[in-house]
Structure 1
Amino acid sequence: MLSEMIKEEYIQLGIEAADWEDAIRQSAKPLLHNGKITVEYIEKIIETTQTLGPYIVITKYVALPHAPTQYGALDLAMGITTLKTPVVSGNKTNDPVKYLFCMSAKDSETHLESMAALVNLLSDQKFYQILDTAKNPRDILNYIIEKE
């Protein structure tokens, strides 16, 4: 379940980011500090984005920073970061990015059910309202739990 991947301490609201690269680093901080990913994992996300383009931008305003497991995904986790000022990723269709869902998965299967739940949330306009108006991380987590 998505709520099992996301902890209150992985949610950051109104973060300032200089550019898309800084936004990725900022979004990954909670997972790094909680031992869910390594620095190498963050660098691989940035390197792959530089090489392939903004593959992590999955829909309007939303990025899903992630990299292959072998580059330092230590445990199943997802962080949520909202940006105070959206950043341009280079994805003309979905820019600017305002919400980042940094993800770590130990393998290619354990996160699939959670990803389906995330897709449902991303098609829910009320979820974006919650992201925009939340006063604290608990507001977002409570909404996710309520939708499960």
Structure 2
Amino acid sequence: MLKNMISEELIVLNVEASDWKDAVRKAACPLVNQGKIKESYVDGIIRAVHEIGPYFVLTKHVALAHSRPEDGVIEGAIGIATLKTPIEFGNEDNDPVKYIFTLSAIDNNAHLSALSDLAGLLEQQEFYEFLDKAKSAEEVMNYINAM
């Protein structure tokens, strides 16, 4: 379940970022700080974009930043970051990105139910409107817990 992989400590709102790399680093920072991933995992996300492009920009304005578990996953988690100013990631169909969900998955299966829950949220315009108005990580957790 999504609520089991997210906590208030993994949510940052209105992040200021200078470019896509800065945005990914700042979105992933709470996961590093909470011991969910190693810094090498963030490097893996950025390296993969250089190698194969912005594969994780899934839909309009949404990125699901992730890399391979062996790049430095310690524990499964999902972080949520909203950007104060949307950033170009190089995905002409879905740029600019305003919402970054950072996924750390310990294997190919453990996170699938959480991703299913997240996909359901990402289909709801109200979720984005809520994120745009949210003032605190606590508000976001309350919204997710109410699902």
TM tier relative to shorter chain:
over 0.9
Checking the alignment, whether the CA contact within 8 Å between 1:11 and 1:80 is kept in structure 2 is: yes
SS in 2 for 1:139: helix
Aligned to 2:6: 6
Superposition RMSD on alpha carbons, in Å? 0.6
Specify the alignment match of 1:95 in structure 2.
Answer: 95
Q: Secondary structure at the match of 1:135?
A: coil
Task: State the match for 1:45 in structure 2.
Answer: 45
Does the Cα contact within 8 Å between 1:6 and 1:79 map onto a contact in 2?
yes
TM-superposed CA distance for 1:145, in Å, is 1.4
Q: Structure 1 stretches of 5 or more lacking a match?
A: none
Match of 1:86 in 2: 86
Normalising by structure 1, report the TM-score.
Answer: 0.98
Paired residues of 1:130 and 1:139 also in contact (CA < 8 A) = no
Q: Spell out structure 1 runs of 4+ moving beyond 6 A.
A: none
Identity of aligned residues (%): 48
Q: How far is 1:141 from its partner?
A: 1.2
Q: Does 1:112 align with 2:112?
A: yes
Residue pairs, 1:37-76, within 5 angstroms? 37-76=37-76
SS of alignment partner, residue 79 of structure 2: strand
Instruction: Determine if the alignment matches structure 1 residue 15 to structure 2 residue 9.
Output: no
Give the superposition deviation at 1:4: 0.8
Q: Deviations over 1:54-113 (max 9, x none)?
A: 001011000011001011011010100000001000100000000000010111111000
| Separation in 1, partners of 2:34, 2:145 | 21
Match of 1:141 in 2: 141
Equivalent residue letter for 1:12: V
> Hey, what does 1:131 align to over in structure 2?
131
Q: TM-score, normalised by structure 2?
A: 0.98
| Residue in 2 that maps onto 1:28 | 28
Measured in 1, the distance between the counterparts of 2:12 and 2:121 equals 18
Q: How many residues align?
A: 147
